[in-house]
């Protein structure tokens, strides 16, 4: 059934007459539409988004988080001289009943943002400079939220980056092997089992109070940054659905995973999959500059490890879904999730083979920025 976006828009505090709307962006979870409204002599654009309540099972709590984070950002940006609040953070339009969302008669939850004009987004890293801007913008986002008490936010997806739980899910699905697929992926199964010992590392450090919990984004891929069309500088972090308490290393690790590999996530020619050191160095520079004074020496010493762990984690999730009959990740071909798994594991091997070089890069940048005590790196 065709959606009537104009009818949806009437439930929000939007002036003017609805003109048109069309699907927008490359996201796969929520349904996003760019809508135009005539307001006097000008056309104003908004983003209408239907929240996927099958993925986000508590959309009211989710919108509490989004609203809380945006309000905190606005408060912090208001203290910065010449800061453009309207383009450096998302701006919610409330529904007619005053809530930050609209709940329609079919049970769907909708939200609306002002469209941030003169911006663009990208799906694939095009240069080290772009990687630098991406990491700097995500780092600034973390820094901005450092004084937001984590108890004010809800957990929108429980155990999202709980790698030990992902491993347990994998072993449970493997033991059943309901679709008789295990025999085709013995190498991948052995790869996961061989790396079980590192799945607990970050959570163990947190439990020992050696690394703190903070508010993080949890989905730090390139297309969750809006870039200025003219300067190509990062302007705004978007997709706040997974913003919740977690470990900063999850965010940087996912940047390594999503940005250093020049190929698609489901690349079948594994000879093309590798971690690019110039991109990694740019990510590290941008992130450490933006988070100066935020990260502890131990957090910095595990930056490279985080990339290895987050790559392993997603590979485990892909393999688990393959064994379980492709229930979570959409597939477009036979063994699609297995291809995705193999690409992740190849990327992880590339990170492992360059781990010493990557740690040297981090240490050198930290020393240059005078942000780390020499010799604090952990093995």
- CATH classification of the domain holding 354: 3.90.1200.10
Angle between helices 336-353 and 186-194 (to 10 degrees): 40
Residue 182 pLDDT more than 50? yes
- As a whole number of angstroms, the distance between CA 138 and CA 287 comes to 7
Q: How confident is the model at residue 357 (pLDDT cuts 50, 70, 90)?
A: very high
Query: What is the predicted pLDDT for the residue at 223?
Result: 93
Token pair belonging to 158: 């429980």
CATH number (domain holding residue 31): 3.30.200.20
Q: How confident is the model at residue 1 (pLDDT cuts 50, 70, 90)?
A: low
Same-domain status, 109 and 240: no
Same-domain status, 265 and 289: yes
pLDDT tens across 314-330, in order? 999 999 999 999 998 88
Q: How confident is the model at residue 5 (pLDDT cuts 50, 70, 90)?
A: very high
Q: Which of 42-46, 86-90, 368-372 is predicted with the least confidence, judged by mean pLDDT?
A: 368-372
A 10 A CB-CB count for 170 gives: 23
Same-domain status, 64 and 205: no
Using only the alpha carbons of the chain, give its radius of gyration. Answer: 21
Residue 355 placed within a domain: yes
Domain of residue 259, residue span: 128-369
Same-domain status, 147 and 93: no
Beta-carbon contacts of residue 273 (< 8 Å; ≥ 6 apart): 261, 263, 267, 343, 346, 347, 350
Quickly tell me which residue has 């003219």 as its tokens. 230
Query: What is the predicted pLDDT for the residue at 54?
Result: 84
Average pLDDT over every residue of 39-61? 93
Residue 110 placed within a domain: yes
Residue 376 placed within a domain: no
Residue 168 pLDDT more than 90? yes
Q: How confident is the model at residue 372 (pLDDT cuts 50, 70, 90)?
A: very low
Closest alpha carbon to 346 in 282, 284, 270: 270
Residue 262 placed within a domain: yes
Token pair belonging to 360: 């040297």
pLDDT tens across 54-97, in order? 889 999 999 999 999 999 999 999 988 777 888 899 999 999 99
Same-domain status, 150 and 268: yes
Closest alpha carbon to 14 in 99, 102, 74, 96: 96
CA atoms within 13 A of residue 329's CA, in its CB half-sphere: 24
Residue 371 pLDDT more than 50? no
Same-domain status, 89 and 160: no
Query: What is the predicted pLDDT for the residue at 29?
Result: 79
Residue 370 pLDDT more than 80? no
Same-domain status, 105 and 205: no
Mean pLDDT of the chain: 93
Beta-carbon contacts of residue 205 (< 8 Å; ≥ 6 apart): 211, 298, 302
Phi, psi of 95 (to 5 degrees): -75, 170
pLDDT tens across 185-240, in order? 999 999 999 999 999 999 999 999 999 999 999 999 999 999 999 999 999 999 99
With a pLDDT cut of 70, the percent of the chain lying above it is 96
Same-domain status, 94 and 217: no
Residue 271 placed within a domain: yes
Q: Which of 117, 140, 175 is the last residue of a domain?
A: 117
Residue 27 pLDDT more than 80? no
Residue 2 pLDDT more than 70? no
- Could you say which DSSP state residue 161 is in? T
Q: How confident is the model at residue 377 (pLDDT cuts 50, 70, 90)?
A: very low
3-state secondary structure of 264: coil
Q: Which of 66, 95, 117 is the last residue of a domain?
A: 117
Residue 122 placed within a domain: no
Same-domain status, 215 and 312: yes
Residue 123 placed within a domain: no
Same-domain status, 277 and 310: yes
Residue 379 placed within a domain: no
Query: What is the predicted pLDDT for the residue at 350?
Result: 98
Average pLDDT over every residue of 1-30? 88
Query: What is the predicted pLDDT for the residue at 175?
Result: 97
Average pLDDT over every residue of 165-193? 97
Count how many domains the chain has. 2
Same-domain status, 140 and 253: yes
Q: Which of 117, 148, 163 is the last residue of a domain?
A: 117
Same-domain status, 132 and 112: no
Query: What is the predicted pLDDT for the residue at 378?
Result: 41
Query: What is the predicted pLDDT for the residue at 106?
Result: 92
């Amino acid at each position: 059934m065709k959606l009537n976006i104009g009818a949806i828009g009437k439930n929000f505090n939007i002036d003017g007459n609805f003109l048109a709307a069309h699907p927008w962006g490359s996201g796969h979870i929520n349904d996003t539409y760019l809508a135009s409204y005539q307001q006097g002599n000008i056309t104003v654009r908004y983003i209408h988004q239907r929240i996927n309540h099958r993925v986000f099972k508590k959309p009211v709590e989710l919108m509490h988080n989004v609203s809380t984070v945006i309000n905190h950002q606005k408060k912090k940006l208001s203290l910065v001289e010449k800061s453009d609040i309207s383009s450096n953070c998302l701006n919610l339009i409330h529904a007619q009943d005053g809530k930050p969302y609209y709940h329609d008669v079919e049970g769907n939850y909708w939200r609306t943002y002002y469209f941030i004009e003169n911006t663009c987004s990208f799906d694939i890293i095009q240069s080290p400079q772009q990687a630098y801007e991406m990491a700097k913008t995500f780092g600034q986002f973390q820094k901005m939220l450092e004084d937001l008490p984590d108890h004010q936010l809800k957990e929108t997806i429980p155990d999202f980056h709980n790698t030990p739980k992902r491993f347990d899910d994998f072993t449970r699905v493997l033991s059943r092997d309901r679709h008789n697929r295990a025999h085709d992926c013995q190498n991948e199964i052995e790869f996961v089992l061989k790396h079980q010992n590192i799945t607990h590392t970050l959570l163990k450090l947190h439990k020992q109070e050696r690394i703190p919990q903070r508010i993080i984004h949890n989905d730090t891929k390139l297309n969750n940054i809006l870039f200025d069309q003219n300067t190509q500088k990062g302007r705004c972090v978007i997709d706040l659905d997974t913003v919740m308490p977690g470990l900063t290393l999850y965010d940087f690790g996912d940047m390594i995973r999503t940005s250093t590999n020049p190929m698609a996530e489901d690349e079948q020619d594994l000879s093309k999959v590798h971690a690019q050191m110039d991109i990694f160095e740019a990510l590290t520079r941008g992130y450490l500059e933006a988070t100066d004074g935020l990260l502890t020496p131990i957090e910095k010493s595990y930056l490279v490890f985080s990339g290895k762990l987050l790559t392993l984690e997603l590979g485990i999730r892909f393999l688990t879904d393959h064994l379980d009959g492709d229930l979570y990740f959409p597939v477009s071909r036979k063994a699609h999730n297995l291809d995705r798994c193999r690409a992740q594991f190849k990327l992880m091997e590339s990170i492992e083979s360059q781990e010493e070089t990557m740690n040297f890069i981090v240490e050198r940048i930290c020393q240059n920025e005078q942000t780390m005590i020499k010799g604090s790196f952990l093995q």
